[in-house]
Chain A
Amino acid sequence: GAVVSQHPSWVICKSGTSVKIECRSLDFQATTMFWYRQFPKQSLMLMATSNEGSKATYEQGVEKDKFLINHASLTLSTLTVTSAHPEDSSFYICSASRQAGETQYFGPGTRLLVL
């Protein structure tokens, strides 16, 4: 199989705080992980591409200082939403692939609600 997990599945936080979301590939090593954001009834928007051991590549319009991504190992990538605000409330989903160009497998997602 190709299982990707995310933690936490739900998080509620106060405005101004930081939230860390973990993405793990459980049964394979992922050279590349991706982070997406999805608002209700909308499509998935790619936020950034994370390669193990190197800096993440952010999509246009995504603030890299606000959305910190770390890919410290071949099985773990983290997304930290810094100084969260209500407009950051969304469904954050990661995906992982064994090699660039191979199928992306998605995690179950993390719902963030910023009050």
Chain B
Amino acid sequence: GQSLEQPSEVTAVEGAIVQINCTYQTSGFYGLSWYQQHDGGAPTFLSYNALDGLEETGRFSSFLSRSDSYGYLLLQELQMKDSASYFCAVSQVDSSYKLIFGSGTRLLVRP
């Protein structure tokens, strides 16, 4: 089977840096994605890693270590609007490359 673990909640202060970790166990790993979801909304794509290393997109960066089955999302210069749920998701090598989502990390940014 497959499983993903990420912290359930993280609290940080506006302007700070926060790291959300994700560990996974899956067969046929293809890549690790990160999605943001605000309450009542749909997930929006943030970042994707297929190879080891760091991917940077503005204030958000994502890291992957395939050998450790581990990745993280790094959010810098936190803003109040970053308060949301963040999901890591693995895509598997099969005919559809479907995504399996983690349970999500609820980030609360305080003033």
Q: Which residues of A contact B (CB under 8 A)?
A: 32, 34, 42-46, 49, 51, 57, 93, 95, 97, 100-109
Enumerate chain B residues within 8 angstroms of A106, measured Cβ to Cβ: 35, 42-45
A101 touches B33 (CB 8 A): no
A103 CA to B55 CA in the complex, in Å? 15
Cβ of A48 to closest chain B Cβ, rounded Å: 9
Enumerate chain B residues within 8 angstroms of A32, measured Cβ to Cβ: 96-97
Enumerate chain B residues within 8 angstroms of A46, measured Cβ to Cβ: 98-101
Cβ of B87 to closest chain A Cβ, rounded Å: 6
* Besides A34-B96, A45-B101, A57-B96, 17 new A-B residue pairs in contact (Cβ under 8 A), listed by A number: A32-B96, A32-B97, A34-B99, A42-B103, A44-B87, A46-B99, A46-B100, A49-B96, A51-B96, A95-B99, A97-B97, A103-B45, A104-B99, A106-B42, A106-B43, A107-B42, A108-B41
A105 touches B45 (CB 8 A): yes
Q: Which residues of B contact A (CB under 8 A)?
A: 30, 33, 35, 41-45, 48, 87, 91, 95-104
**Which residue of B is nearest A2, CB measured?**
B45
Enumerate chain A residues within 8 angstroms of B45, measured Cβ to Cβ: 103-106
Enumerate chain A residues within 8 angstroms of B99, measured Cβ to Cβ: 34, 46, 95, 104
